Amino acid sequence: MKFYLAKIFAFVCISLLTSCGGGGNPSPTVTDIQANQLVYGQNTTFTLSGTLLDQGAVLSSEGCSNLTQGPGAANTSQTWTCQINAAGTSAVTVQAKTANGTVLKSQSFDVAPPNYLVITSIEADRLMYTKLTAFTINGYSLDKGLTINSKNCKGLALLAGGTSSKQVITCTVGAVGKAAVVIDGVLAGGTLVKSKTFDVPAPQVTMVTNLGTAVVELDAVATPLTTNNFLQYVNDKFYDNTIFHRIVTSGIFVAQGGWITSAPAVQPGQRSAIALEVGKGLSNVKGTIAMARTAELNSATSQFFFNLADNVALDTASGGYAVFGKIVTGLPLLDALAGVATSTQYGLTDFPSQNVVVQSASQTQ
């Protein structure tokens, strides 16, 4: 009798779908996911088969954009559409999930690469003013008539070893600011395939001395000639192991360097003089860097000076002195420089009594 009653009780529970001591709300199941077509750039419909699909089954996708559920979702069937935007083995993956995120079924699909040129992305390895930058172009059929054009990036060159899905070009960044550099991928006939803009930060030079370190940001927009000239010396390592040969704390307050070594000897490698860039909205205030020169206006080469105090008279004195940047980190270095004792040595007045050495100067942005 006990066995018989237990069988009846079990039958009632199953027939009525009651909890009978622990069940719960039924969940959807997905037994299959099918795609009607898999063509790059075209819409595809995915059909889900299963049970209770109208009880909250949803679909997510990778490699397929603008996923939208189709009309008429039924208990055993559901459709979703999206546009294929990836190609290759397992390029598209779809997952059927419950409303709370439980994965019911995941399935991947292969998509044949398109036989026409497609650029999916253009990426830069770094973006530093005056520096060579590599741009990676990703896509499909890139070996079919791809041409690259650039704006504000000089010496464009295509690197060897590219493939139909990846090409690399290099060029030297020649501008700063928002969307300063533009890279265009075009067909041989001139049709634009993809254009990408890149922001380029203002150049910065980190100067390490035996009295401290300062980061100097240069204004390549207002003073391009002076900035480029200074960066050439920096990138040539010209300033490494040179000294500040003049520190003036009376009348004007400046610390001047970029000329001689601690030997002392004139540092070889000076370039031709540059044109004077004054009247550009920059002033000789404390913390700025400017070019030193002779009485000849267009005579600046490698020598620079830091303004240890506000020296606004230098903006116009004897034709003016060109400010081309400012210290953004490390202002205490200026106070340390101002505290160095000086004397007349080697025929130079205001020569530091102790060597103040520029141990290194390098472009860090």
| Predicted pLDDT of residue 100 | 87
As a whole-number percent, the residues of the chain with pLDDT over 70 amount to 93
Q: From residue 330, how far is each of 209, 211, 333, 334 by CA, in Å?
A: 11, 11, 6, 8
Distance CA 207, CA 54 (A): 67
**Predicted local confidence at residue 230, as pLDDT:** 98
- Could you report the per-residue pLDDT of 56-76, keeping only the tens digit for each? 888 999 999 999 999 877 889
Residue identified by tokens 């000639």 is 225
Structure tokens at 62: 């990778």
Which of 112-121, 224-233, 292-301 shows the lowest per-residue confidence on average (mean pLDDT)?
112-121
**Per-residue pLDDT band at 24 (split at 50, 70, 90):** low
Longest dimension (CA), the chain: 123
Q: What is the pLDDT of residue 25?
A: 65
Domains of the chain: 26-111 (2.60.40), 118-200 (2.60.40.10), 204-363 (2.40.100.10)
Please tell me the pTM assigned to this model.
0.81
User: Would you state the pLDDT for residue 54?
Assistant: 85
Per-residue confidence band for 22, with pLDDT thresholds at 50, 70 and 90: very low
Torsion 216-217-222-224 (CA) sign:
positive
